[in-house]
Amino acid sequence: DTSLAEVNSFSPSVPISPSSMINQYKFEDGPELRDLFITVDDPESHITAIETFITYRVVTKTTRGEFDSSEYEVRRRYQDFLWLKSKLEEAHPTLIIPPLPEKFIMKGMVERFSDEFIETRRKALHKFLNRIADHPTLTFNEDFKIFLTAQAWELSSHKKQGPGLLSRMGQTVRAVASSVRGAVKNRPEMFTEMNNYMETFSQKINLLDKIAHRIYKEERDYFNEMKEYGPIHTLWSASEEDIADSLKGIAGCIDRCCKATEKRMAGLSEHLLPILHEYVLYSEILMGVLKRRDQIQGELDSKVDALANKKTEKDLFSEEIGKLEDKVERANNALKADWDRWKQNMQRDMRSSFTNVAENNLRYYEE
């Protein structure tokens, strides 16, 4: 893809040093003036007779007039973040909602409730809330404000005020009806291009994610072997007086390589693996958003077909079609604006992630 290849095209005027590249891109993509700052920190374990779970402190500082105070501090568990995401998807079906870490993120790499798992999740939850805060529409969502400001009992009470059973059933029936309607006949070309782009992107990002995990696993195996290999030379030097200094030197060299490999692994787990996996989740979210846009379009198409087949009730159909045309236009405009914004963020994140990995690799081989 030319569009994906552009991410890796560096201008000849860019300095050779990778650290200079990083500084340049960070400077170019500097944050705009913000009025909402959110921090997720201080994880706490809670053990009850029924379950064990972790809560995180969410601290919000703001200068916005719609908030009653300039600073809030609440505690939230993972289920609360899931609730917020579902409410955002419900309120903004054609906007790109940031992904949450899965229930068991990095499965097979870290144990649940280990310090590493909790820290990985904390970073992901912090990024999730700040991506919402930086979004021009989602940041003003009422449920988002309640999530940031309400105490635990208030949030629990608010959650119970969700849509009733009949309303949920109606949404489900409409969704099923839309999904069985078949291919959209009048989909604009740009949304077909988006679909094609996302299919290619999804394949590539999933492949990159698998390769990165394989590299990390190989590095970890190599690191574990080196940890055992160094002390062998130290023990060996005790029984070989003539070459003791050389053996100790090799042992010291292996130890330095071991430490350098450990730093390299930390760089991969911090700068590459989470970014790639986040965009694996983003690819699934975007495919869902495009399907929801198509469902709205499909609803409009079916009404237009019905109007063509029924001469009676023409005025009623015309009114419904007018409303659906407005709904499709709003959905299209929302997705188009979010699409451009998402692509810019994706390219910046990818560029930064791979440049960081290149910088870490250079340092590793120098050491």
Q: Over the chain, what is the mean pLDDT?
A: 82
Q: String of b and e for 330-360 (b: at least 16 CB within 10 Å)? A: ebbebbeebbeebeebbbebbbbbbbbbebb
Query: Given a cut of 60, is residue 271 above it in pLDDT?
Result: yes
State the pLDDT at residue 324.
81
State the pLDDT at residue 11.
39
Q: What is the pLDDT of residues 3-35, one digit of tens each?
A: 444 444 333 343 444 444 334 433 344 445 788
Identify which of 135-139, 157-161, 170-174, 178-182 has the greatest average pLDDT: 135-139
In a domain? residue 280: yes
Give the residue ranges of DSSP H helices in the chain: 2-5, 18-28, 78-91, 115-134, 142-149, 152-159, 165-179, 189-237, 244-267, 273-309, 314-366
Between CA 121 and CA 209 the distance in angstroms is 18
State the pLDDT at residue 108.
46
Length of the chain: 367
Q: How confident is the model at residue 159 (pLDDT cuts 50, 70, 90)?
A: confident
pTM: 0.76
Residues of the domain holding 78 = 34-156
CATH of residue 141: 3.30.1520.10
Q: Which residue has the higher pLDDT, 364 or 318?
A: 364
In a domain? residue 61: yes
Q: What are the distances in angstroms from CA 92 to CA 46, 128, 293?
A: 33, 16, 11
Between CA 134 and CA 201 the distance in angstroms is 24
Q: What is the dihedral of CA 180, 195, 354, 122, to 10 degrees?
A: -30
Say whether both 50 and 195 belong to one domain: no
Q: How is residue 318 written in tokens?
A: 């015309």
Say whether both 137 and 195 belong to one domain: no
Say whether both 257 and 338 belong to one domain: yes
Count of domains for the chain: 2
Say whether both 122 and 217 belong to one domain: no
Say whether both 150 and 196 belong to one domain: no
Count of CB atoms within 10 A of residue 147's CB?
A: 23
Q: Which of 10-14, 85-89, 191-195 has the lowest mean pLDDT?
A: 10-14
Residue of 345, 344, 336, 331 lying closest to 92 (CA atoms)? 331
User: Residue range 147-153: average pLDDT?
Assistant: 91
User: Residue range 299-317: average pLDDT?
Assistant: 69
State the pLDDT at residue 169.
40
In a domain? residue 124: yes
The per-residue DSSP string of 194-251 comes to HHHHHHHHHHHHHHHHHHHHHHHHHHHHHHHHHHHHHHHHHHHHTT-STTHHHHHHHH
Say whether both 149 and 190 belong to one domain: no
In a domain? residue 22: no
